[in-house]
Amino acid sequence: MDFGGNKTRKENEKTVGVVETNIAKIPLPNDGFELECGRKLKELQVAYETYGTLTAEKDNVIFICHALSGDAHVAGWHGKVGEGTAGWWEEMVGPGKGIDTNHYFVVCANILGGCKGTTGPSSINPETKKPYGSDFPPITVRDIVRVHSLLTRYLGLDKIAAVIGGSFGGMQALEWTIQAPDRIGSCICIASATALSAQALAFDIVGRRAIMSDPNWENGDYYQSGQVPSEGLSLARKIGHITYLSPEMMGQKFGRERREQSGDSYHNANLFLSNFQVESYLEHQGEKFVARFDANSYLHITRAMDEYDLEAAYGKIENAFARIQSKILVVALSSDWLFPPEQSAEIANGLLKCKKNVSYCCLTAPHGHDAFLVDVKHLSSVVRAFLPWVGKKTIRDDSALRGIPPMLYKAYNVIEKWVPEESRVVDLGCGNGILMDLLAERKKVRSLGIDISIENIITVIDKGHDIFQADIDGGLAMIPDKTYDYAILSDTLQVVKNPRLILNEMVRVAREGIVSFPNFGKLTHRLQLLFRGKMPKSNTLPFEWYGMELPRTPEFLHKSHGLVMSLGQFNQWVSSQ
Amino acid sequence: MDFGGNKTRKENEKTVGVVETNIAKIPLPNDGFELECGRKLKELQVAYETYGTLTAEKDNVIFICHALSGDAHVAGWHGKVGEGTAGWWEEMVGPGKGIDTNHYFVVCANILGGCKGTTGPSSINPETKKPYGSDFPPITVRDIVRVHSLLTRYLGLDKIAAVIGGSFGGMQALEWTIQAPDRIGSCICIASATALSAQALAFDIVGRRAIMSDPNWENGDYYQSGQVPSEGLSLARKIGHITYLSPEMMGQKFGRERREQSGDSYHNANLFLSNFQVESYLEHQGEKFVARFDANSYLHITRAMDEYDLEAAYGKIENAFARIQSKILVVALSSDWLFPPEQSAEIANGLLKCKKNVSYCCLTAPHGHDAFLVDVKHLSSVVRAFLPWVGKKTIRDDSALRGIPPMLYKAYNVIEKWVPEESRVVDLGCGNGILMDLLAERKKVRSLGIDISIENIITVIDKGHDIFQADIDGGLAMIPDKTYDYAILSDTLQVVKNPRLILNEMVRVAREGIVSFPNFGKLTHRLQLLFRGKMPKSNTLPFEWYGMELPRTPEFLHKSHGLVMSLGQFNQWVSSQ
């Protein structure tokens, strides 16, 4: 994750413009700010930036939690626009962007323990008038979040419309949502986890050891020596950078390319420094990091990250999640191996178990973990759709049925009659969510959509529904048992690969299942329209029941069209064919 | 990869017993042994071990190439059996084991640049009478292999029946097979590559840098200081150990478990040393390694490994592989992410392109890269089956047809007539290779089998045929275009998921395709027997043509049984149904 350095400004790029980091000296009780470890900080200052305009109701606050090595400067430019230092998430935050500063009042603060203006190990200890160094107390994610909380109160911001974070920032966002359910309206948790995996721990462990092995570290008291543990910090950063990129992207970006074409590798200035491009890259990352980051901050923050463990803290994840009142969006990145998609899926699954409002998507992201910083195209759209106001389409007026294609009209009408008010529904293959609209509008039904397409995910999230991105052909592993009143498979059975699997999964996740078929009208013509390009041409009807014991004939299709059945009725009907 | 330390001896375990490492002082020309870099070593000594008995014909030599941190002590015990130090591949090498010392004369030597008896940076430089240190010249894989080659000549061993290596040892095995095609009978290359990936390079780069950053390293001249760069070497080793384990296995072995249950992590002796089990593990591995390995050897050997690149050396891989005359077995490990299966598959694919005799399998190996050392059950069987004599079944007498099940007899008979002598055949879903036996025996046909089951792989390799482990439902990506005269799909079409894909792939990889169906005799009865437990019971015949435009009726099956058709005939026949 590279939060530093200049970025070339694109022409016509919208930006919040020139910004400055502010420092807040947080008023504390006389004995100071008590940390989770029991020790107290006598003074607490927090560096923060804000963009956009606060509404009179103060209800448009978005708080961004930064990751391991970030800072308060999330958007805009220090110095001159296009020439100074751009914010680390400039692509995401600004007018018209994913986090739209035309609508929101955005706050980002450097975390406790950091080295970018908020109290940390390199700050002056008011009791000794020297930098804390080895005397800086251990901190936790909860401490970090409590500092964010104090800052927002200090700024007069009681309600946080949304808290957003990626990676370690996602842990903070989650923790805040759990700690202050009354203050947090919604939460976006990107490429994160409720605890690091053993492998991620291992990389941090080696990184810390590299710093501690550097003779300049001096047990943390190096500030006055004039010598910083730069070799150790650089090593730690290089290990980190390997884990931030997917192996495929590392292969694509660097492969085995070399800096110069000579190919004579026996006469390097140093035999053991290769001329592989990947070495130059890592060296460069190490050097940049050493110039902008403090080794003790790295130690303290990675330690806090390693120790974070919601399950250990609450006995089980569900005990933590039970406290949450906000809507949550969980975003995974497909080729992230540091915070792999399974860990995001676990969060989403745990929230479903607690019957929370949660959406989940796994973005195609070849970069790996770094994608949340460098490849924000889809991420911006998903975030923008999820945030409470921006881009909301006004389709949920009384005319919800107007959006329904004629061939689904009859089936939807029946489903609407069958589903009781305020029941919990999962809509498998929900498409753009029209049935969900209808049931929300007419029956006050809270439904979860399941769909594979990112465009549908964005549309449905934008409408305010919950949705999980998943391939229903692979089953519904992320949905806990008996979580729903109704599982609906509408106009979808004919395109699934393994109907038996889906039908069994419907029985597992819901009390009742409903299967419906489109009413094609002039059947053959419409079918050709529907399946054009999707199925291979053939003499028989291009309507395949992969592996299912169903007659695969035009007659069957004629019989099924427009039908709506409970699972029991459907099974009876199939065996009668 | 942990080559060191004692191992508990299992009861009744067969072992070569107590062994010793020998030192050979290799006779050199007056000006010494010239390395690829142009510099010369005035003296060359090699540490080696041998087990088993050399035949009078000297045709049973197996040479084992060790990996990064191994040594000559591959099997048996130094000191007392069960109490001293076991060889690093004791599970694999010994009487009745994968590499069976009852049959073979096994040789293993410490590599050039090592620190276990073969000339390396810690050896005494005869010109200065001091350890080489920074004066040790850069070495390459080719240098390492040339030293193996000199050693075997010195021992009077001209022919190597098989050279075997895993990881970096696999690179050496491959290189030797390319360099000395006339000397090497066969080659087994396990969890290796023709060049490291960018990610693997990156880990080595950071590891070397950790050693060089250690002030004790002193540019390599630390031998007389009494201080070795143990912190740096330990860091490098820890990074290595993370990469040797799959993330899943690391999660299973350590997860987030802690050394003690106190949970109070604020008062460790050192705040930044965690009590996670994974930290203890890494510390232990680092300490053990520092006690047994030399940092300069680590630098030189990893450098040689990083620089190894068959494609760069030969322009393209095929130019290197074209030289090979040996049979080759390429073994991948399913969850290896340091030398991922794709890299082994690339080797196998390249060898096929050059029409070499190659077999490939990907063993289910949850441990990751380390599996070749710690989980050798299947590996032993595959290696044992591949080696020239051990376990060979004597089924290839003139009665090859005896092994054929009656229902395939007729089809095989037709296929035998169709396939010309000495043609090249790929048998898709070859099972235990009976058709391959038949064609080899009667028509001198050299065939490649494709099958998914490890038992079939072992059986077919044991018979001396080539086989690739692959799921034909996923296509035949590893088979280059038009490599074969005939692609045969015998008694298999009815169980593939996507017949169209397979039929298209047959056309791609071979000039002609043959499809055959079993002759079931009393059809219904035999079918029930054949498919019992494999297909769900139902009223219709449990014979599924996943997604293919074929009538799925008992009548069709009756018509097809016993048929043998070219692809052209088959397509005509299907459209006539």
Average pLDDT over residues B530-539: 35
Helix (H, G, I), strand (E, B) or coil at B167: coil
* pLDDT at site A520: 56
Residues 178-207 of A with CB under 8 A from B: 195-199, 201-203, 205-206
Strand pairing category for B99-100 and B93-94 = parallel
User: Given an 8 Å threshold on Cβ–Cβ distance, is A205 in contact with B254?
Assistant: no
pLDDT for A346 beyond 70:
yes
Name the residue facing B242 among A203, A209, A273 (closest C-beta).
Answer: A203
Interval A29-74: pLDDT, tens: 999 999 999 999 999 999 999 999 999 999 999 999 999 999 999 9
C-alpha dist (Å) from residue B293 to A466, B136, B172, B287: 56, 16, 20, 10
Q: Where residue A548 falls among pLDDT bands split at 50, 70, 90?
A: very low
Helix (H, G, I), strand (E, B) or coil at B294: coil
- Give the architecture (CATH level 2) of B196-307: Orthogonal Bundle (1.10)
List, in order, residues 6 or more apart from A261 with CB less than 8 Å away. none
Name the residue facing A206 among B212, B282, B309 (closest C-beta).
Answer: B282
Q: Where residue B497 falls among pLDDT bands split at 50, 70, 90?
A: confident
Question: Who wins on pLDDT, B396 or B77?
Answer: B77
Determine the Cα–Cα distance for residues A97 and B49; give it in Å rounded to an integer: 67
Determine the Cα–Cα distance for residues B296 and B232; give it in Å rounded to an integer: 11
User: Given an 8 Å threshold on Cβ–Cβ distance, is A540 in contact with B547?
Assistant: no
The DSSP letter of residue B258 is B
Mean pLDDT of chain A: 88
Instruction: Spell out which residues of chain B touch residue A307, defining contact as CB-CB under 8 Å.
Output: 265, 274
List, in order, residues 6 or more apart from A17 with CB less than 8 Å away. A76, A77, A81
User: Per-residue DSSP letters for A453-505?
Assistant: -HHHHHHHHHTT-EEEE--GGG--TTSPTT-EEEEEEES-GGG-S-HHHHHHH
- Measured in degrees and rounded to the nearest 5, phi and psi for residue B334 equal -55, -40
Mean pLDDT of chain B: 88
User: Given an 8 Å threshold on Cβ–Cβ distance, is B309 in contact with A215?
Assistant: no
pLDDT for B163 beyond 80:
yes
Name the residue facing A202 among B273, B282, B547 (closest C-beta).
Answer: B282
pLDDT for B215 beyond 60:
yes
Segment of A10-24, A495-509, B178-192 carrying the highest mean pLDDT: B178-192
User: Given an 8 Å threshold on Cβ–Cβ distance, is B250 in contact with A197?
Assistant: yes
Helix (H, G, I), strand (E, B) or coil at A230: helix
Cβ atoms of residues A27 and A150 within 8 Å: no
* pLDDT at site A231: 98
Average pLDDT over residues A98-109: 97
Determine the Cα–Cα distance for residues B483 and B76; give it in Å rounded to an integer: 44
From the CB of residue B519, how many other CB atoms can be counted at a distance below 10 Å?
20
pLDDT for B508 beyond 60:
yes
Determine the Cα–Cα distance for residues B313 and A397; give it in Å rounded to an integer: 69
Residues 508-527 of A with CB under 8 A from B: none
Closest residue in B to A256 (Cα) is B198
Instruction: Spell out which residues of chain A touch residue B544, defining contact as CB-CB under 8 Å.
Output: 547
Determine the Cα–Cα distance for residues A465 and A432; give it in Å rounded to an integer: 10
**Which CATH superfamily does the domain covering A22-386 fall into?**
Alpha/Beta hydrolase fold, catalytic domain (3.40.50.1820)
pLDDT for B1 beyond 90:
no
Determine the Cα–Cα distance for residues A78 and A17; give it in Å rounded to an integer: 9
Q: Check: CATH 2.60.40.10 for B1-158? A: no
User: Given an 8 Å threshold on Cβ–Cβ distance, is A198 in contact with B278?
Assistant: yes
Question: Who wins on pLDDT, A192 or B544?
Answer: A192
Catalytic residue ranges of B: 167, 336, 369
Name the residue facing A307 among B239, B265, B546 (closest C-beta).
Answer: B265
Q: Which two tokens stand for residue A162?
A: 């949304």
Determine the Cα–Cα distance for residues A114 and A298; give it in Å rounded to an integer: 8
Q: Among A192-196, A308-312, A530-534, B23-27, whose mean pLDDT is lowest?
A: A530-534
Instruction: Spell out which residues of chain A touch residue B255, defining contact as CB-CB under 8 Å.
Output: 198
Q: Which two tokens stand for residue B298?
A: 């680590």
Among B36, B135, B203, B205, the residue to mutate for chain A (most A Cβ within 10 A): B205
Name the residue facing A247 among B199, B235, B242 (closest C-beta).
Answer: B199
pLDDT for A423 beyond 80:
yes
Question: Who wins on pLDDT, B472 or B564?
Answer: B472
Q: Where residue A500 falls among pLDDT bands split at 50, 70, 90?
A: confident
User: Given an 8 Å threshold on Cβ–Cβ distance, is A254 in contact with B198?
Assistant: yes
Interval A198-237: pLDDT, tens: 999 999 999 999 999 999 999 999 999 989 999 999 999 9
What are the DSSP E strand ranges found in B476-509?
484-490
Share of chain A above pLDDT 90, in %: 75
Average pLDDT over residues B500-516: 90
* pLDDT at site A190: 98
Determine the Cα–Cα distance for residues A331 and A375; give it in Å rounded to an integer: 13
Interval B322-353: pLDDT, tens: 999 999 999 999 999 999 999 999 999 999 99
Angle at the Cα of A346 (from A341 to A349), degrees rounded to 5? Answer: 125
* pLDDT at site B94: 97
ipTM entry: 0.90
Cβ atoms of residues B121 and B228 within 8 Å: no
pLDDT for B519 beyond 90:
no
Determine contact: A269 vs chain B, CB below 8 A: no
**Which CATH superfamily does the domain covering A400-576 fall into?**
Vaccinia Virus protein VP39 (3.40.50.150)
Determine the Cα–Cα distance for residues B138 and B300; give it in Å rounded to an integer: 7
Determine contact: B546 vs chain A, CB below 8 A: yes
Residues 227-266 of B with CB under 8 A from A: 231-232, 235, 238-239, 242, 245, 247, 250-251, 253-256, 263, 265-266
* pLDDT at site B540: 30
Interval B76-96: pLDDT, tens: 999 999 898 999 999 999 999
* pLDDT at site B313: 96
Cβ atoms of residues B235 and A210 within 8 Å: yes
Question: Who wins on pLDDT, B519 or B516?
Answer: B516
Average pLDDT over residues A320-342: 97
Average pLDDT over residues B406-412: 79
The answer to whether the B163-195+309-388 and B196-307 domains have the same CATH topology is no
Cβ atoms of residues A171 and B229 within 8 Å: no
Closest residue in B to A342 (Cα) is B248
* pLDDT at site A414: 87
Determine the Cα–Cα distance for residues A409 and B142; give it in Å rounded to an integer: 73
Among B194, B199, B254, the residue to mutate for chain A (most A Cβ within 10 A): B199
User: Given an 8 Å threshold on Cβ–Cβ distance, is B256 in contact with A196?
Assistant: yes
Name the residue facing B272 among A245, A256, A303 (closest C-beta).
Answer: A303
User: Given an 8 Å threshold on Cβ–Cβ distance, is A546 in contact with B546?
Assistant: yes
Q: Where residue B391 falls among pLDDT bands split at 50, 70, 90?
A: low
Name the residue facing B239 among A197, A239, A547 (closest C-beta).
Answer: A239
Find, among B196, B209, B215, B187, the residue nearest to B68 by Cα: B196
Residues 145-174 of A with CB under 8 A from B: none
Q: Which two tokens stand for residue B429?
A: 């879903």
Average pLDDT over residues A546-561: 51
Domain ranges of chain A: 22-386, 400-576
User: Per-residue DSSP letters for B321-372?
Assistant: HTT--SEEEEEEETT-SSS-HHHHHHHHHHHHHTT--EEEEEE--TT-TTHH
Question: Who wins on pLDDT, B530 or A312?
Answer: A312
* pLDDT at site A566: 84
- Measured in degrees and rounded to the nearest 5, phi and psi for residue A199 equal -70, -45
Average pLDDT over residues B28-48: 97
Strand partners, B190: B166, B331
Q: Where residue A388 falls among pLDDT bands split at 50, 70, 90?
A: confident
Determine contact: B12 vs chain A, CB below 8 A: no
User: Given an 8 Å threshold on Cβ–Cβ distance, is A214 in contact with B213?
Assistant: yes
Name the residue facing A206 among B235, B247, B312 (closest C-beta).
Answer: B235
Helix (H, G, I), strand (E, B) or coil at A100: strand
Q: How many CB pairs under 8 A join A and B?
A: 166
Q: Which CATH number, 3.30.300.20, 1.10.260.40, 1.10.760.10, 3.40.50.1820, labels domain B163-195+309-388?
A: 3.40.50.1820
Instruction: Spell out which residues of chain A touch residue B546, defining contact as CB-CB under 8 Å.
Output: 546-547
Cβ atoms of residues A286 and A237 within 8 Å: yes
Residues 30-49 of A with CB under 8 A from B: 37-38
* pLDDT at site B476: 93
* pLDDT at site A68: 97
Residue A23, min C-alpha distance to chain B (Å): 29
Tokens 């498998």 belong to A428
* pLDDT at site B501: 85
Average pLDDT over residues B167-195: 98
Among B34, B136, B209, the residue to mutate for chain A (most A Cβ within 10 A): B209
User: Given an 8 Å threshold on Cβ–Cβ distance, is A206 in contact with B254?
Assistant: no
* pLDDT at site B389: 75
Find, among A383, A398, A372, A352, the residue nearest to A99 by Cα: A383
Determine the Cα–Cα distance for residues A458 and A462; give it in Å rounded to an integer: 6
Q: Among A143-152, B345-354, B387-396, B529-538, whose mean pLDDT is lowest?
A: B529-538
Strand pairing category for B105-109 and B45-51 = antiparallel
